[in-house]
Structure 1
Amino acid sequence: MIPAMPATATSARRASVTALRFGRVSMAGAFAALILFAGVWGSWGTAQHVMLVKGRETGTVEVTRCAGDTCTGPFTPTSAGARPRARVEIAHSVAVRTGATYDVVLKPGSGDAVRSGPAGILYAWLPLGGALLLAAVVVAGGMRLVRPAWVLGLSGAVLLTAAFVALQ
């Protein structure tokens, strides 16, 4: 310390460094929480239909035609109260092929089908898997919490890998 400098300058500097560190950690934590919330929000739109199937129409769809981002086919019900339909739509993805039959749940009040079963659940939660990976980077870099970041990142990687394997 310089003899002419008062001792309060060092404590003021220490306080400002602490305040900046607190600000960085709190902003990174809020950003990571926002990312995770967005992942859950993005997943829940589909996951609610797949996970809460009580009272919904369940059955199978045989994909007969794919065009653009949707595939269509006849719906054969497997649940009580469901009625057969000549045409329902399912989202076209790499896991949906023409001529294949898939277990589905129909969204209430529409002809839109969502894959059901373990593959459908994992597929519905894919946005959360990506959010976990992104939040891991924010937690490691912004908050300097390496172990929780590894947990978040590995959880996201496991979810994405499990979905990939289940959909094949």
Structure 2
Amino acid sequence: MPKSSARTSSVRRSRARRFGESAYGVVLVARTGLMGLLALLLLVAGVWTSWNTARYAMLVGGEERGTLTVSACAGERCSGRFVPLEGDGRVRAGVSVARAVAPEVGERVEVVVKPGSADAVRTGAAGVLHAWVPFAGSLLLAALVVAGGMRLRRTAWVMGLVGAVLLAAAFAAM
């Protein structure tokens, strides 16, 4: 009786080849993990940087709120006279705000004065959007890392579009 050739179709690979395939899988997982950590680091840095200003623009509970009349701009800052909205604060002559959020000389803008300083942060939609610009930039950078390093193209497109929309909204609000 002839031997039956009912052997399965699996082919046994050599030990070196199996090790090479395993090592390649480990490298792929390590690359994806490292790129994920890099993207997370970029996003955390963006939120950290944005929150430094955004907390004053968004949460104006205990700070000095008022209007700033822009009188002069030099370098990165514009300064002017601060008049508080409520009776809590005092009128100040040398309060400054970032030039990017300041209107033309002679115009007024609503601001919050940072505690213990003469620096002000713009409030309202324009101030909040401007405060989150670093996060928008980190979204754009992280989208490149997610697309290139992690091969998650749809996720990267969403991240990039959210970052671009946030940047465009901040630009339009100014």
User: Residue 124 of structure 1 is aligned with which of 115, 118, 131?
Assistant: 131
The residue correspondences of 1:48-67 to structure 2 (distance < 5 A) are 48-67=55-74
- Deviation track 1:21-67 (CA, whole Å, cap 9, x = no partner) reads 01110110010011101101111111111111101111110101111
**Residue 6 of structure 1: CA displacement?**
5.8
The residue correspondences of 1:49-128 to structure 2 (distance < 5 A) are 49-93=56-100, 95-128=102-135
- Deviation track 1:54-111 (CA, whole Å, cap 9, x = no partner) reads 0111111010111122111111111341222122111222753212211101000111
Structure 1 residue 166 corresponds to structure 2 residue 173: yes
CA distance in 2 between partners of 1:79 and 1:46 (Å) = 22
What code does the residue aligned with 1:154 have? L
1:136 alignment partner in structure 2: 143
CA distance in 2 between partners of 1:117 and 1:78 (Å) = 14
CA distance in 1 between partners of 2:13 and 2:159 (Å) = 46
Per the alignment, in what secondary structure is the counterpart of residue 64 of structure 1?
A: strand
1:149 alignment partner in structure 2: 156
Per the alignment, in what secondary structure is the counterpart of residue 100 of structure 2?
A: coil
Per the alignment, in what secondary structure is the counterpart of residue 90 of structure 2?
A: coil
CA distance in 1 between partners of 2:145 and 2:133 (Å) = 19
CA distance in 2 between partners of 1:6 and 1:130 (Å) = 48
State the 4+ residue runs in structure 1 displaced beyond 3 angstroms: none
User: Residue 39 of structure 1 is aligned with which of 46, 61, 65?
Assistant: 46
* Residues 38 and 70 (structure 1), Cα distance of their counterparts in 2 relative to 1, 3 Å cut: same
What code does the residue aligned with 2:90 have? R
The unaligned stretches of length 5 or more in structure 1 are none
What code does the residue aligned with 2:168 have? T
**Residue 147 of structure 1: CA displacement?**
1.0
Q: State the percentage of identical aligned residues.
A: 51
CA distance in 1 between partners of 2:14 and 2:22 (Å) = 13
**TM (normalized to structure 2)?**
0.89
**TM (normalized to structure 1)?**
0.92
* Residues 150 and 23 (structure 1), Cα distance of their counterparts in 2 relative to 1, 3 Å cut: same
1:15 alignment partner in structure 2: 22
CA distance in 2 between partners of 1:94 and 1:75 (Å) = 15
Task: Please tell me whether Structure 1 or Structure 2 has the larger radius of gyration of its CA atoms.
Answer: 2
Per the alignment, in what secondary structure is the counterpart of residue 97 of structure 1?
A: coil
- Deviation track 1:103-162 (CA, whole Å, cap 9, x = no partner) reads 101000111111100100000000000000000000000000011111110110110011
